[in-house]
Structure 1
Amino acid sequence: MFELFQASILPQQLLLSLLLTLVVCYWLLVLLGALDFEADLPDDLGTDGDAHHGTGSTHALGMSTGGAWLSLGRFIGFSQVPLMVWLSFMILFMWFGSLVLNEWYNQAGSLGQAALLLLPNLLGSLILTKLVTLPVAKLFKAMGDADSEAEEVIGRTGIVTSTEADASYGQLEITTANVPLLINVRTQPGVAPLKRGDSAKVLSAGPDNIFYLIEPAPQN
Structure 2
Amino acid sequence: MSSLFAALTSFPAVVYTVLLGVVLVYWLLAIIGLVDFEAGADVDIGADAADAGDAGDIGDAGDGGPEGLSGLAAWLVAFGLNGVPFSIVVSLLALVGWFLTGMASLTLLPLVPDALRWAAGAGVLLAAAALSIVIAAQLVRPMRGLFVTHRAISNAALVGQVCKVLTGVVDERQGRAEVAQRGAGINIRVWAPAPNSLRRGDAALITEYDPARQRYRIDALPPDHA
Under a length normalisation based on structure 2, what TM-score does the superposition of the two structures give? 0.51
Unaligned runs of 5+ in 1: 48-63, 157-173, 175-180, 185-203, 206-217
Aligned to 1:41: 43
Please give the root-mean-square deviation of Cα atoms over the aligned residues, in Å.
3.8
Q: Using the TM superposition, give the Cα deviation of residue 14 of structure 1 relative to its aligned residue in structure 2, in angstroms.
A: 1.6
The one of 121, 127, 131 aligned to 2:128: 121
2:145 is matched with 138
TM-score where L is the length of structure 1: 0.53
Counterpart selection for 1:81 from 62, 80, 84: 84
Structure 2 Cα separation of the partners of residues 106 and 182 of structure 1: 56
Deviation at 1:125?
A: 0.8
Between structures 1 and 2, the one with greater helix share? 1
The 1-side partners of 2:9 and 2:130 are apart by 23
User: Structure 1 residues 140, 120: closer, same or farther in 2, change over 3 A?
Assistant: same
Shift of 1:122: 1.6
In 2: Cα distance, 1:183 partner to 1:138 partner: 13
**Aligned match of 2:16:** 16
The residue that corresponds to 1:99 in the other structure is: 102
C-alpha contact (below 8 Å) 1:98/1:118 kept by paired residues: yes
d(CA) in 2 for partners of 1:139, 1:97: 27
Aligned partner of 1:35: which letter?
V
- 2:84 is paired with a residue whose SS is coil
Secondary structure, counterpart of 1:33 in structure 2: coil
Letter in 1 for 2:38: E
1:2 positional shift: 4.5
Contact 2:89-2:136 within 8 A present in 1 as well = yes
Higher relative contact order (CA 8 A, sep 6+): 2
Work out the CA distance in 2 between the residues paired with 1:183 and 1:73.
27
Q: 1:182 to 1:112 in 2, by over 3 A?
A: closer
Query: Residue 25 of structure 1 aligns with which residue?
Result: 25
**Alpha carbons 2:7, 2:106 under 8 Å: kept:** no
Deviation digits for residues 163-187 of structure 1 (CA, Å, limit 9, x no counterpart): xxxxxxxxxxx8xxxxxx4689xxx
CA distance change for structure 1 residues 5 and 35 in 2, over 3 Å: closer, same or farther? same
Equivalent residues of 1:20, 1:92 under 8 A apart? yes
Sequence identity (%):
24
- Report the residue type matching 2:97 in the other structure: M
Residues paired across the two proteins, number: 143
Rg bigger for which structure?
Answer: 1
Distance of 2:184 and 2:145 partners within structure 1: 23
